[in-house]
């Protein structure tokens, strides 16, 4: 079951609040890398506020109050989706973090939590587009415009195909990596992401 990121009293009432004396655990994952970021607890009010604001709000068991992640640091968690497990007593949240999630400054509260590297690379490409740091190759691509980026994708596609036919595995993998990177940049230049492409594949698979 999923709960839409908007007020829905009926969905809230369907949760098994009584099991945790009004509190349910909420696991938060990065929407792009699927890395587990943190575990917190929600009550009906905090989950409702989360739906209204789009920023993850918990109930602090130590402070006995509601708190929005990032209310002091600014490192909010922008909620993309909310799902509930089969027993309706645990919440799974996909969110995009605006900075480190852990109070230690780490991106995850779980040291070494696995994540999808391509998703993380896509995030970095997005940052490069926004900040345009001087000396960055990615910056130079964005400043060259979409035609230049598309040309690079074409070149890397040809080089990948040639490597498959005439070179060894190491060369093929190297060219494939170049192609994937430039494709990420191209998607970003069009306002799209790797997840958008994944969604298309998922729809085709159904």
Instruction: Name residues of the chain where pLDDT drops below 50.
Output: 1, 7
Residues 124 and 190 in one domain: yes
Residues 91 and 130 in one domain: no
Instruction: Output the pLDDT for position 9.
Output: 56
Number of domains in the chain: 2
What pairing do the DSSP bridges indicate for beta strands 57-60 and 2-3?
unpaired
What is the token pair recorded at 189? 């230049």
Identify the domain boundary among 31, 63, 97: 97
Domain limits for position 29: 2-97
**Number of neighbouring beta carbons within 10 Å of residue 93:** 24
**SS3 sequence of the chain:** CEECCCCCHHHHHCCCHHHHCCCEEEEEEECCCCCEEEEEEECHHHHHHHHHHCECEEEECCCCEEEECCCCCCCCEEEEEEEECCCCCCEEEEEEECCCCCCCCCCCCCCCCCCCHHHHHHHHHHHHHHHCCCCCHHHHHHHHCHHHHHHHHHHHHHHHHHHHHHCCHHHHHHHHHHHHHHHHHHHHHCCCCHHHHHHHHHHHHC
Predicted structure pTM score: 0.79
Q: What are the backbone dihedrals phi and psi of residue 140, each rounded to the nearest 5 degrees, phi first? A: -65, -35
Instruction: Output the pLDDT for position 7.
Output: 41
19/22 Cα distance (integer angstroms): 7
Q: What distances in angstroms separate CA 183 from CA 90, 104, 114, 177, one per listed residue?
A: 37, 34, 23, 10
Residues 124 and 66 in one domain: no
Structural domain contains residue 106: no
Instruction: Output the pLDDT for position 4.
Output: 55
Structural domain contains residue 102: no
Residues 35 and 84 in one domain: yes
Instruction: Output the pLDDT for position 13.
Output: 72
* pLDDT tens sequence across 85-144: 889 999 999 999 999 999 999 999 999 999 999 999 999 999 999 999 999 999 999 999
Buried/exposed 106-119: b ≥16 CB within 10 Å, e otherwise? ebbbeeebebeebb
Structural domain contains residue 149: yes
Instruction: Output the pLDDT for position 11.
Output: 65
Q: Looking at residue 91, which CATH number applies to its domain?
A: 3.10.20.810
């Amino acid at each position: 079951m999923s709960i839409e990121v908007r007020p829905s009293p009926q969905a809230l009432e369907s949760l098994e609040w009584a099991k945790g004396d009004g509190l349910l655990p909420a696991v938060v994952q990065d929407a792009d890398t699927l890395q587990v970021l943190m575990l917190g607890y929600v009550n009906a009010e905090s989950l409702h506020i989360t739906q209204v604001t789009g920023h993850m709000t918990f109930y602090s068991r130590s402070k006995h109050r509601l708190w929005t992640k990032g209310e002091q640091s600014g490192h909010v968690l922008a909620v993309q989706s909310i799902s509930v497990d089969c027993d309706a007593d645990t919440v799974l949240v996909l969110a995009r973090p605006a900075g480190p999630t852990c109070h230690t400054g780490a991106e995850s509260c779980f040291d070494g939590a696995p994540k999808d590297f391509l998703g993380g690379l896509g995030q970095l490409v997005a940052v490069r587009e926004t900040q345009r740091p001087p000396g960055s190759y990615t910056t130079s691509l964005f400043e060259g415009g979409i035609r230049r980026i598309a040309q690079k994708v074409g070149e890397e596609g040809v080089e990948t195909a040639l490597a498959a036919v005439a070179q060894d595995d190491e060369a093929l993998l190297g060219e494939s990596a170049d192609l994937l990177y430039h494709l990420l940049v191209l998607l970003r230049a069009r306002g799209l992401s790797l997840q958008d492409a994944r969604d298309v594949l998922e729809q085709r698979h159904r």
